[in-house]
Amino acid sequence: MTLKPTKTVVAPANGTSGTRAEPPSSNRAARAAERRQAIIEAALEEFIARGFAATRLDDIAKRAGVAKGTIYLHFKDKESMFEELVRLVIVPVVERLTKLPPPAGSVRDLVEVFASTFLREVASTRRGDLVRLIVAEGPRFPAVADFYYREVVQRGIAGMRALIELGIARGEIREKGLAKFPQILVAPVLISVIWQSLFERHAPLDAQAMLRVHLDLIFGERRTT
Amino acid sequence: MTLKPTKTVVAPANGTSGTRAEPPSSNRAARAAERRQAIIEAALEEFIARGFAATRLDDIAKRAGVAKGTIYLHFKDKESMFEELVRLVIVPVVERLTKLPPPAGSVRDLVEVFASTFLREVASTRRGDLVRLIVAEGPRFPAVADFYYREVVQRGIAGMRALIELGIARGEIREKGLAKFPQILVAPVLISVIWQSLFERHAPLDAQAMLRVHLDLIFGERRTT
DNA sequence: TGACTATGACTGACCGGTCAGTCATGAATT
DNA sequence: AATTCATGACTGACCGGTCAGTCATAGTCA
């Protein structure tokens, strides 16, 4: 025990209490929650950058500004930490997207709003890499793949199908077969996400523009009478 | 390897030695090549199943029926082995696909033949998982990502674009914007590959059928008049 | 309020297993 | 005999997980 690490000075003030400049939030539970959050963010960052197997808990701890042991106060082990992490990040996004659609306007507009939101919220953020991470680690984490399928894919497909059927009923969509493969609707968005994280530096892709072209394919050329 | 105490067979002179021996490859170079091939296949299998970091060289060796040291007679280390592996698997596929298109028939037929071949040759084989592997490990192996971009993606995009422009010129394709985003053309195929390796067990996907619907979108409903 | 104690969040040195890479040994080939 | 190839026991670095000890904080009492 030679040096006393600075510890307390780390946290950026939460700015709640004006009088006291208290770097660490005072309350114990609050501090714990903060640390937990820091661990989650650090872990996400590291897992995305290195993949599950190559990520070192020491690095997560260092990035989170926490000792390694602390991680084990919040998570059982590396594996369940990873699984829980995915849930923690996905759930709020799904919730956001779920309660999005205001049932008005043309189907095309609906889809466009939806997909654009997705692009903005997911494709161009850290969450985009999370999708890649799931693709990468899914086969080795059935629990993660299952969860992702149930919470995201299945719902997404169902929603898309409903929209497509509506579009067909209203005569906006000509291609009937599309209802059997809603995947086609989102394929370019997915491709954008993967493209960006792999080839952005070779050839950046204008995801929004690509999406528009794709929707033109499905709904016919922009018919803004 | 119960090898007969045979001789070389490489003999320059006429067959002084027995004209025997090929069940177990006799020639030394041939045997080495065989082992190399076995290592490559085993490694591919393991890397696909576990990812780069989690793959053990001991397992590769065991699967290849070879001692670990032997691997190092053929590859510098784990990392360059992985990179070389990707090249070794991709190159022949690219060659096959490159020399495929016989320039005849409608553009739609051309595209359909091409994509179907791709589905058959890639999506439903071990090579499909290789695509997922590249997506997974790409960010950590710039060399692999670069190679893949140059050899596969760039060429593929260029080829698709040429086809699309031809289709537009011939009036088969209405949507002009497609030429700017050839990615859209192959998006469903890529999605198929990823879908199969992640969700096959939840909900198998008829890739060929999906492809047909997608092509209907682009070329208009089957117009076999 | 101030002093004293109990709590448990947090730490980080440590342990044990794992695994990439090496190399002395022996076998096969020339 | 000399050379080339293959082997697998071995080494040492690395890393997930542990736990005895520390100390800020909350609780208790006067």
On the question of pLDDT at A223 being above 80, the answer is no
CB contacts of A199 in chain B (<8 Å) are: 145, 149, 153
pLDDT of residue A155: 93
Superfamily of the domain at B80-219: Tetracycline Repressor, domain 2 (1.10.357.10)
pLDDT mean over A20-46: 76
Residue A160, C-beta contacts closer than 8 angstroms, at least 6 positions apart: A182, A185, A186
Cross-chain CB nearest to A184 (options B54, B132, B213):
B213
On the question of pLDDT at B175 being above 90, the answer is yes
| Lowest model confidence (mean pLDDT) among B15-19, B26-30, B140-144, B185-189 | B15-19
- Looking at CA atoms only, how far is residue B123 from chain A in angstroms? 15
**Residue A63 binned pLDDT confidence (cut-offs 50, 70, 90):** very high
pLDDT digits (tens, 9 = 90+) for A125-178: 888 889 999 999 999 999 999 999 999 999 999 999 999 999 999 999 999 999
Are B135 and A139 a contacting pair at CB < 8 A?
no
CA/C1' separation B136–D30 (Å): 66
Which nucleotide is nearest, taking the CA of residue A29 and each C1'?
Answer: C9
Cross-chain CB nearest to B195 (options A137, A183, A194):
A183
On the question of pLDDT at B4 being above 70, the answer is no
CA-nearest residue to A149 within chain B is B199
Higher pLDDT, B19 or B26: B26
CB contacts of B175 in chain A (<8 Å) are: 213, 216-217, 221
Mean per-residue pLDDT over chain B, rounded: 84
pLDDT mean over A83-89: 94
With vertex at residue B136, the alpha carbon angle to CA B132 and CA B138, rounded to the nearest 5 degrees, is 110
Percent of chain B with pLDDT over 70: 85
Helices marked H in A99-203: 107-118, 126-137, 142-148, 155-169, 183-199
- Total Cβ atoms within 10 A of residue B70: 17
CA/C1' separation A122–D26 (Å): 42
Same fold, B28-75 and B80-219: no
Q: Does domain B28-75 have CATH number 1.10.287.70?
A: no
Mean per-residue pLDDT over chain A, rounded: 84
Q: Where are the domains of chain A?
A: 1-75, 77-225
Are A199 and B137 a contacting pair at CB < 8 A?
no
Nucleotides of D strand lying within 7 Å of any protein CB atom: 5-9, 14-20, 22-26
Check whether residue A55 has its CB closer than 7 Å to nucleic acid strand D: yes
pLDDT of residue B3: 32
* H or E element that contains B90: helix B78-98
Higher pLDDT, B93 or A207: A207
- Looking at CA atoms only, how far is residue B94 from chain A in angstroms? 19
CA-nearest residue to B189 within chain A is A187
On the question of pLDDT at A50 being above 60, the answer is yes
Higher pLDDT, B47 or A5: B47
pLDDT digits (tens, 9 = 90+) for B53-108: 999 999 999 999 999 999 999 999 999 999 999 999 999 888 888 887 676 789 99
pLDDT of residue B205: 95
8 Å CB contact between A147 and A86: yes
Percent of chain A with pLDDT over 90: 63
pLDDT digits (tens, 9 = 90+) for A103-126: 678 999 988 888 888 888 887 788
Are B197 and A139 a contacting pair at CB < 8 A?
yes
Q: Which CATH number fits domain A1-75: 1.10.10.60, 3.40.50.2000, 3.10.105.10, 1.10.3720.10?
A: 1.10.10.60
**Amino acid of residue B87:** R
pLDDT of residue A93: 85
pLDDT of residue B224: 52
DSSP string, B72-89: HHH-SSHHHHHHHHHHHH
Q: Which CATH number fits domain A77-225: 3.40.50.300, 1.10.357.10, 3.40.920.10, 3.40.50.10800?
A: 1.10.357.10
Which nucleotide is nearest, taking the CA of residue B58 and each C1'?
Answer: C19
Which one, of A27, A217, A113, lies nearest residue B179 by Cα?
A217
